[in-house]
Structure 1
Amino acid sequence: MSTQTSTYAELVQSLEPNDILEKFPEVIALNNRPNTHSSESSSKDDNLLEGYDEEQIRLMNENCIVLDWEDNAIGAGTKKMCHLMENIDQGLLHRAFSVFLFDSDGKLLLQQRASEKITFADLWTNTCCSHPLCVDDELGLNGSFEGKVEGARIAAVRKLEHELGIPPQEVESRGEFHFLNRIHYVAPSNGAWGEHEIDYIFIYQLRKGESLTVDPSANEVREITWVSQQQLKDMFNDGKLKFTPWFKLICDNYLFQWWDQLSDLREVENDTKIHRML
């Protein structure tokens, strides 16, 4: 999609690093970042978060990676500030990842997000989707494309354990990650919340004869299911089911083509382009 197709895209593209730090004073510049997973909680008396699950409120203090248009890290911003539509409407952008985990027979693991989630609660989505944090091993400190991809992969292993209870040692030894591409999209969620991300897309496929321990956290995941291509298409045709916007974007534009190429992804992996969907 052309970068000139929307006024919003033009706004985001126009923001230089100094503009971002000036417009969003809560963002901690890269050189001054705390290099910790979370900032100290300031959410106890926050009316916006009143009534939400305590664990999900705590996670809103995680330090996401704030970006410019070209996916360069500018600094650390809390998950809360990165997901407020009032900030997104002004162009605030952060880094994310999405994992599509396949078994050795080519079935895809889906999750339904827990009711406790603050954004996109109860929606069906891909196996795992979250954010690299603004810490050394997930940031890609040298700024290289390869470093950023590896940082997102490390974050994916962390969150596969946190959300789905999949032990990291099993992930690292029983299958393989393939980085496909990056998509840039914006989507409102509910009320004050939304997403504006450059999302690193990974396929993970188990080797023949291997399996994973999957023990989802009830605070993160309401339900899981393994699906074939046709079963997923049937789910999309079921008007009672709702899906996250990034999952639909990836499926509508890429997933079924990739699914057909699971046996050999070399032609479609490691795409360096940022695919704009604004």
Structure 2
Amino acid sequence: MLSKSLKFGVAATRNLVKQTQGPHIRGLSTPCNKNKLDPVQESLLAEPCILVDESDNIIGQASKRECHELLADGTSPLHRAFSLFIFNEKGELLLQQRSDSKITFPSMWTNTCCSHPLMQGDEPDGVTGVKLAAQRRTTIELGIPESQLNVNKMQYLTRILYNAPSDGAWGEHELDYILFLKGNVTTALNSEEVQATEWIARQHFPEFISSIQASGAKLTPWFSLISRHLLPKWWKNLDRINEFEDHKTIHKFN
């Protein structure tokens, strides 16, 4: 459990729920029983995700279940996703800890919101559609009002491609759009999705990550990749983040 005495230089919105340590932490090392899925999470498995090739061309659609069940070779279909990072007026980043009932990477810490645009409405429409999906899911997960999630103020940065198993049954294989949003927001957590949040200042981020790892908890694989390879430069230059917009590059971490 993260020590409540740790100070990260923020007036944190700290909705922490006690973390279970030791062998009960679910994640990469603990198989998930498909027959005992959380009913709310299981109901979301019918959502239509957007299948893409490695150049991000749409090639079809498949259910969320089909996109996240591992095939015999240990892979799963490549589909489009997004990762939203919200920073307040102090430049602090809002992180979330995923709920214990999430099918993939439960209990892990990650960026503000990460999910999928769906093959519905305008969400398949490239960057514009991904921003709409980010607005929709961030409201569902964190209870942030849509009025505080202006898609016109979301900054698209780049895309990453990665493949990561969650356990023996489920995994992620995503072409992930990275979005930044600057502004103060209010949260009302959906406990089916998120169990805790934390505002973290850039200078205290390494300490926070060390504290998480010391507690026995983990970071999601996409957030770990972004944090190591891309986030430091972006965060350091938050006031001119638009200069890093890149529609050509897909960073491949396979």
Q: Separation in 2 of the partners of 1:159 and 1:72?
A: 23
Q: Separation in 1 of the partners of 2:172 and 2:189?
A: 24
1:220 equivalenced with 2:189 (yes/no): no
Report the equivalent of 1:261: 237
Equivalent of 2:226, from 239, 250, 262?
A: 250
The residue type paired with residue 207 of structure 2 is D
1:200 equivalenced with 2:207 (yes/no): no
Identical counterparts, % of pairs: 42
> Could you report, residue by residue, the CA deviation over 1:15-42 in whole angstroms, capped at 9, with x for unpaired residues?
xxxxxxxxxxxxxxxxxxxxxxxxxxxx
Cα RMSD over matched residues? 1.8
The residue type paired with residue 269 of structure 1 is E
Task: Give the CA deviation at 1:67.
Answer: 1.0
Equivalent of 2:113, from 128, 136, 144?
A: 128
Q: Separation in 1 of the partners of 2:124 and 2:231?
A: 26
Question: CA separation of 1:274/1:162 partners in 2, compared to 1, >3 Å: closer, same or farther?
Answer: same
SS in 2 for 1:92: coil
**Higher relative contact order at CA 8 Å, sep ≥6: structure 1 or structure 2?**
2
> Could you report, residue by residue, the CA deviation over 1:53-90 in whole angstroms, capped at 9, with x for unpaired residues?
11000011111001112111111101111011217745
SS in 1 for 2:122: helix
The residue type paired with residue 102 of structure 1 is F
Question: CA separation of 1:160/1:267 partners in 2, compared to 1, >3 Å: closer, same or farther?
Answer: same
Gaps of 5+ in 2: 1-31
Report the equivalent of 2:20: none
TM-score by length of 1: 0.75
Gaps of 5+ in 1: 1-46, 141-147
> Could you report, residue by residue, the CA deviation over 1:166-194 in whole angstroms, capped at 9, with x for unpaired residues?
11122128x82110100000001022011
Equivalent of 2:60, from 56, 69, 75?
A: 75
Number of residues of Structure 1 aligned to a counterpart in Structure 2: 220
Task: Give the CA deviation at 1:256.
Answer: 1.1
> Could you report, residue by residue, the CA deviation over 1:77-114 in whole angstroms, capped at 9, with x for unpaired residues?
01111011217745620000000000011000000000
1:155-170 alignment runs, 5 A limit: 155-170=133-148
SS in 1 for 2:84: strand
Q: Separation in 1 of the partners of 2:196 and 2:235?
A: 22
Report the equivalent of 2:89: 104
TM-score by length of 2: 0.82
Structure number with bigger Rg: 1
Maintained 8 Å contact 1:65/1:132: yes
SS in 2 for 1:267: helix
4+ residue segments displaced more than 4 Å? none
Maintained 8 Å contact 2:67/2:79: yes
